[in-house]
Amino acid sequence: MKNFRTVSDIRIERGGAAKLDAHIDGLCANKRVFIVTDAGVHALGLLDGAKAALRGAGYRVEIFDQVVADPPEAVVLRGAGWARDFKAGLVLGFGGGSPMDTAKVIALLAGSDQPITEMYGVGLAMGPRLPLMLIPTTAGTGSEVTNVAILTTGETEKQGIVANALYADRVLLDAKLTTGLPKMTTAATGIDAMVHAIEAYTSLPQKNPLSDALALSALTKLRGAIEDVCKDGQDIEARENMLIGAMLAGQAFSNAPCAAVHALAYPLGGFFHVPHGLSNALVLTGVMDYNLPKADGLYGEIADHLRLGNSGAILIDEMQRIKHATGVPQTLSAVDIPDSAIAMMADDAMTKTRLLINNPRQMTLAATIKIYEDIA
């Protein structure tokens, strides 16, 4: 049996955040909106239009801006307590993957009594949750349409909550929010989105006709726009294509989950706080080279769809070219990760069985170490 789920209410409007009162219609009965964001997004004034629209329409607005990258569990628990005290009627995640993931779990924790420790894993978070709306300000994670939230537990461990209760009630894509995204974040988050689509397309147990179609159309949009947005961040057309592409990729991997690229990327974020997209970009082509003997056909189908040719190796070359063209770092030393960390990171990557089981070729510890060594 093949299953497919996604968020049922998705809106695309340039400048839509400044009309948020209209876009949250029907979602917040008590008119108390709890906005979850990070200090960077808040300081940039990206919330100003949304806040003004809500307050102008008589909503009470509380802003929790303590989210940090790779959100720690402790921050999520603090936000959930705050949302409860505020008697939030709607949780609005506004930002990149970090604020959106945090908002998802806050909505769960504030809406039910299940302890967070019982939520990690697949299908264990039960809900109910508070009404949830998500507005991405990066074009990368696709978290706005996924049933996944990734938190940092303890000092370094990244753990996922995967549950249908995490699908948001509504999503708004507003490309105007993304025009100021710095070039490196644009490149890294854009490559993250491309990885989601590639890994969904090769996600052997659960790939299905819907995830395949979404992954291919995501890659068409993302490949067409990623270099344009890196050259000219104000190119609103390309920015919107990136947002839509990242969302399509999110819909794909939410149903056909990610695999070894993400498994090998997580320790870079967990131990060394390398941004998620950069971590993926670093290990991407090494994992694809390793996968090639088993994934040649599927990579070739993607290459063919992108009119590059029809061999898997061509897709790997194209991703390498995009990494160079967008200027993302190419080595672990460029992101201050010493060779001495490789063994520890490899051991950690091998624990990501939730992801590794989806890889087209069985990943081994020896191969993981070699992939890290090749980019040291």
Ligand X SMILES: NC(=O)c1ccc[n+]([C@@H]2O[C@H](COP(=O)([O-])OP(=O)(O)OC[C@H]3O[C@@H](n4cnc5c(N)ncnc54)[C@H](O)[C@@H]3O)[C@@H](O)[C@H]2O)c1
Residues contributing to the site for ligand X (CB under 6 A): 38, 40-41, 44, 46, 69-70, 95-99, 101, 137-138, 140-143, 146, 148-150, 177-178, 180-181, 185, 189, 276-277
Q: Which two tokens stand for residue 114?
A: 């299940």
Nearer Cβ to ligand X, position 239 or 301?
A: 239
Query: Which parts of this chain interact with Fe ion (CB under 5 A)?
Result: 192
Question: 223 touches which of Fe ion, ligand X, none (CB within 5 to 8 A by kind)?
Answer: none
Q: Would you say 89 or 190 has its CB closer to ligand X?
A: 190
Q: Collect all residues with Cβ–Cβ distance below 8 Å to 154 and sequence separation of at least 6.
A: none
| C-beta of residue 239 within 8 angstroms of C-beta of residue 218 | no
Query: Considering beta carbons, is residue 73 or 301 the nearer one to ligand X?
Result: 73
Which option in ligand X, Fe ion, none does residue 177 bind, with CB closer than 5 to 8 A by kind? ligand X
Find the shortest distance in angstroms from Cβ 192 to Fe ion: 4
Our CB check for ligand X shows the closer of 277 and 360 to be: 277
The three-state secondary structure class of 71 is coil
- The Cα diameter of the chain in Å comes to 59
Q: Are the CB atoms for 320 and 314 separated by under 8 Å?
A: no
Alpha helices in 57-96 (DSSP H): 73-86
263 close to 291: Cβ distance less than 8 angstroms:
no
What minimum distance in Å lies between the beta carbon of 308 and ligand X? 25
Q: Provide, rounded to whole angstroms, the least separation between the CB of residue 100 and Fe ion.
A: 12
Minimum CB separation of residue 63 from Fe ion in Å reads 26
Q: Tell me which long-range contacts 363-369 makes (C-beta under 8 A, separation of at least 24).
A: 363/260, 363/263, 363/264, 363/287, 363/290, 367/290, 368/264, 369/342, 369/343
Q: Could you say which of ligand X, Fe ion, none residue 98 binds, taking C-beta under 5 to 8 angstroms by partner kind?
A: ligand X
When CB distances are held under 5 to 8 angstroms depending on the partner's kind, the choice from ligand X, Fe ion, none that residue 277 binds is ligand X
Q: How far is the CB of 184 from ligand X (least distance, A)?
A: 10
145, 123 Cβ separation under 8 angstroms: no
Identify which of residues 161 and 303 has a Cβ nearer to ligand X in the complex: 161
Minimal distance, residue 134 CB to ligand X, in Å: 10
Could you tell me where the beta strands, DSSP code E, fall in 74-184? 90-95, 121-122, 132-136, 148-153, 157-162, 170-173
* CB closer to ligand X out of 297 and 327: 327
**Binder of residue 16, out of ligand X, Fe ion, none (CB less than 5 to 8 A by kind):** none
Q: Please, what is the minimum distance in Å from the beta carbon of residue 258 to Fe ion?
A: 6
DSSP secondary structure of 180-240: T--HHHHHHHHHHHHHHHHHHHT-TTT--HHHHHHHHHHHHHHHHHHHHHHH-TT-HHHHH
**309 φ/ψ angles, rounded to the nearest 5 degrees:** 140, -170
Least distance to ligand X, CB of residue 263, Å: 12
**8 A C-beta contact, residue 148 and residue 103:** no
Distance CA 103, CA 6 (A): 18
131 binding partner (options ligand X, Fe ion, none; Cβ < 5 to 8 Å by kind): none
Nearer to ligand X, 131 or 250 (CB): 250
**Residue 123 burial (10 A CB sphere; 0-12, 13-18, 19+):** exposed
